[in-house]
Structure 1
Amino acid sequence: MARNNYSIGLLLIGIAVILLLGKLGVFAALGAFLWPVFVLLPGLVFHFLYFSRIVPVGVLVPGGILITYSLMFFYCNLFGWDSMVYLWPGFIFGVAVGLYELHIFSARSSKGAFTAAMVLSIISGVFFAFTFMFTVGVYFIAFVLIAVGLWLMMSRRRSW
């Protein structure tokens, strides 16, 4: 009987600790930060199932997309969701990653998947470049102009 009381007491203490942690917001904070794991896990499961030879190569497309998106979501959780202003072309790039994996691991490597992956990668890269230029590019251009101006001032004799 004493062993049974010990187990029940331990169970009650465990429940109380879980309730207190929940009331203090520990689980809410973890859930708010770690929810992209629920996007990452299916992508990893798709890859595991393919490499275990259980499912066909087609599951690598959604697997690559989900893994890419989950990395973007983790980044936004760390550095703020205003980062999505810069990262939105990553949604296009995620599809390119999935199609490229399909091309790489397919026994019948089709040129269509490779072509689509490259086109989407280029489009994503162009959008990343435009986003960079319109947001941070002004600072980069100003820095380059200052550097070139200093170089011109230091490399030539003064002929005012």
Structure 2
Amino acid sequence: MARNSYSIGLVFIGLAVLLLLGKLGVFQLLISFFWPLVLLVPGLLFHLLYFNRRLPAGVLVPGGILTLYALMFFFCNLFGWGSMSYIWPGFILGPAIGLYELHLFDRGSDRGIWIAAMVLGIISATLFALTLLVKLGIYVIALILVVVGLSMIFRKRRLW
């Protein structure tokens, strides 16, 4: 009976610690930060199962999409959700990565898969560049003006 009460006592202490941690918000903090693991784990699992020859190459498409989206959400958790205004073209890049992986690892894939991946990748890169130009445009213009001004100051003058 003494051994049984010892085990029950440990269970009660464990439950009390869990309740206190829950009341202090520890679990809410962990869940609010690590929720992208819900996307990252299946994405990496798709890759693992393909490379272990358990699933066909088609699982690389959702695997690439889920993995990139999870990384984007982790980035937003770290640096704030305002950074989504800079990285939103990643939602187009996800399918491009998945399709490119399919083309790369499936030897029987159609050339259209590669073309679709490249088109989506180019669209995403263009939108990334435009977003950065719009968001950081004044800094780019200031940098260009400084470079032009320095080149005008330090260039050799021609003798007429």
Output aligned runs, 1:10-159, within 5 Å: 10-156=10-156
Instruction: Please report how far the alpha carbon of residue 110 of structure 1 lies from its aligned counterpart in structure 2 after TM superposition.
Output: 1.8
- The letter of the residue matching 1:130 is L
Instruction: Please report how far the alpha carbon of residue 48 of structure 1 lies from its aligned counterpart in structure 2 after TM superposition.
Output: 1.5
Alpha-carbon RMSD = 1.3
Q: What is the alpha-carbon distance in structure 1 between the residues aligned to residue 136 and residue 36 of structure 2?
A: 27
TM-score, with length taken from structure 1: 0.93
Instruction: Please report how far the alpha carbon of residue 53 of structure 1 lies from its aligned counterpart in structure 2 after TM superposition.
Output: 1.5
SS of residue paired to 1:145: helix
Cα offsets for 1:46-98 (capped at 9, x unmatched): 11111121211111100000000000000000001111111110000000000
- The letter of the residue matching 1:53 is R
Cα offsets for 1:15-56 (capped at 9, x unmatched): 111110000000001111110000101101111111121211
- The letter of the residue matching 1:68 is L
Instruction: Please report how far the alpha carbon of residue 108 of structure 1 lies from its aligned counterpart in structure 2 after TM superposition.
Output: 0.3
- The number of aligned residues is 157
Structure 1's consecutive aligned runs of 4 or more residues displaced over 3 angstroms after TM superposition are: 154-157
- The letter of the residue matching 1:22 is G
Q: What is the alpha-carbon distance in structure 2 between the residues aligned to residue 156 and residue 28 of structure 1?
A: 64
- The letter of the residue matching 2:10 is L
Cα offsets for 1:85-118 (capped at 9, x unmatched): 1111000000000000100110303211111000
Q: What is the alpha-carbon distance in structure 2 between the residues aligned to residue 156 and residue 6 of structure 1?
A: 89
Gaps of 5+ in 2: none
Q: What is the alpha-carbon distance in structure 2 between the residues aligned to residue 25 and residue 60 of structure 1?
A: 37
Gaps of 5+ in 1: none
SS of residue paired to 1:107: coil
Identity %: 61
- The letter of the residue matching 2:14 is G
TM-score, with length taken from structure 2: 0.93
Q: What is the alpha-carbon distance in structure 1 between the residues aligned to residue 25 and residue 115 of structure 2?
A: 48
